Amino acid sequence: MITKVIRTIHPVGQGAFYTEDFFTDDDKQPTYRIAYDCGGNTQESINQYLDQMFAKEPSLKFDYFFISHFHCDHINGLPYLLDNKKVKHLVLPRLSEEILLEAILYNQRQEINTGERQRLINLLIKLYAQTQSGDDIIIVVEPTDYEHLSFKDKDSTKIPLDKEESWLLIPFNPPFMASKGKKPFLGYFKKEMGIVGQKLFQNLSSILSDQNQLKKCTKIYQDYFKGKHNPYSMALFSGTENRRYCDLNCDYQQLRHNSNIPNLQQFWQHPFIENGTMQFCNTYNYSICHDGLKMCHNRHNCLYMGDFDTKKFAKALKQYFNELWSSIRFMQVPHHGSEYNYNAALYEYCQLCFIQAGKYSRYGHPNNKTVSGILSQGALPLLVTEEPATTLTFPINVEP
């Protein structure tokens, strides 16, 4: 049975990399390891980070590696992990032809070097082929059927880490939605490009290598999505289904490093702070003092969301996790804290919200409206950048 969990938010900048180590009994080394997303500012920077990580522990492997979606800032570290055989099982949202096309065109538009772009495209095409052939390493999570919105349905994907099922990993994959008033993206793209039949992917490389054709592809992509470039993202619940309680102690210096980010300065002047102790506006108490962050006799279930569209799918997400929803105390703020992915309804029970963004994010992440909204819900937002000092590590002791 799992007795301890170490949850880590890694300093990879404008990307996403979250890991959890699970210990059973008195084991000094983790019995199980999982990760959610692996992307950073650039492929070079995330590879350097992974080099350092595996230099400290060469035998490290992930039992389950979850990918939220296929945009470069969430997967540009994945080629390294797969090439070095660091993943036992890769858990993906269903990679349909439509999603494959969207991901290739999105990554083609990004300001990344040609080599990185081509490696990502090659990876996507390889993953698509593997999902079609039924590769044993890959677990595919199908889009959720709105007629069966519950993690308890027999067809839903649930991954118990141990035979006692003392800790569950439950992904939620929303459907890839067509833009309002338009046909599905794959058909729309083929029509605009004048492509007939099933020849798109056979000819896509030659299309993207032609500058005029590439400009046309980019315009079609922009016209279709109109700035909303996150039409899908698989969320992941990590925690206990039963009412097991945990104790958490978080180092005070961690919080100080994260609180010094300019966007979060307002927190320390917030009315919920009195005499150095957090006074909660919700009913689930924790305290911040010079000994650090303490959350005792509580539940520490976590929801990772990638770039989840909370404007469109928040209701479905809450319905899917149902009675588990009120147990979620940790939450990854989707899309690096963008205001377009903020929905106050998500944070009613949350206590700690972690945001990953570049120290000098050119997108203005995290948005001040998002940070203020989270604070108004009584939760604590913490920002992790590419600065090592902003790393967040949460050791959680699980009661038997």
Say whether pLDDT at 265 is over 60: no
pLDDT at 153: 83
Q: Count CB atoms within 10 A of the CB of residue 334.
A: 27
Any domain includes 58: yes
Say whether pLDDT at 377 is over 80: yes
Three-state DSSP at 234 gives: coil
Domain that holds residue 115: 2-179+228-398
pLDDT at 392: 86
pLDDT at 383: 87
The pLDDT confidence band at residue 77, using thresholds 50, 70 and 90, is very high
Task: Give the total number of structural domains in the chain.
Answer: 1
Any domain includes 144: yes
pLDDT at 248: 60
Contact (Cβ atoms closer than 8 angstroms) between residue 161 and residue 116: no
Q: What is the mean pLDDT of the segment spanning 61-77?
A: 96
Please state, in angstroms and rounded to a whole number, the distance separating the CA atoms of residues 51 and 80: 9
Please write the tens of the pLDDT for every residue from 173-189: 988 876 666 788 999 99
Share of the chain above pLDDT 90, in %: 47
Please state, in angstroms and rounded to a whole number, the distance separating the CA atoms of residues 244 and 327: 10
Q: Closest Cα to residue 319, out of 153, 142, 168, 141?
A: 153
Say whether pLDDT at 323 is over 70: yes
Any domain includes 115: yes
Q: What is the mean pLDDT of the segment spanning 365-389?
A: 86
Any domain includes 217: no
Backbone angles phi, psi at 94, to 5 degrees: -50, 120
Say whether pLDDT at 26 is over 50: yes
- For residue 97 the two structure tokens come to 């032809």
Say whether pLDDT at 89 is over 90: yes
pLDDT at 245: 59
Any domain includes 288: yes
Please state, in angstroms and rounded to a whole number, the distance separating the CA atoms of residues 373 and 381: 10
Any domain includes 319: yes
Q: Which amino acid is at 223?
A: D
Please state, in angstroms and rounded to a whole number, the distance separating the CA atoms of residues 174 and 317: 8
**Any alpha helices (H) in 38-113, and if so which ranges?**
43-56, 72-75, 78-83, 97-109
pTM of the model: 0.90
Any domain includes 211: no
Please write the tens of the pLDDT for every residue from 200-236: 887 788 888 899 999 999 999 999 988 776 778 999 9
**313: Cβ–Cβ under 8 A, 6 or more apart, which residues?**
174
Three-state DSSP at 137 gives: coil
Least confident interval from 115-124, 191-200, 318-327: 191-200
Any domain includes 204: no
Beta-sheet strands, E only, within the chain: 2-9, 16-24, 32-39, 64-66, 90-93, 138-141, 159-160, 168-172, 235-239, 246-250, 273-274, 277-278, 287-289, 292-298, 301-304, 328-332, 352-356, 380-384, 392-398
Share of the chain above pLDDT 70, in %: 83
pLDDT at 145: 75
329 alpha-carbon distance from chain centroid: 16
Please write the tens of the pLDDT for every residue from 27-65: 788 999 999 999 999 999 999 999 999 999 999 999 999
pLDDT at 289: 43
76 alpha-carbon distance from chain centroid: 13
pLDDT at 290: 42
Average pLDDT over the chain, rounded to an integer: 83
Q: Which CATH number characterizes residue 290's domain?
A: 3.60.15.10
- Residue predicted with more confidence, 159 or 286: 159
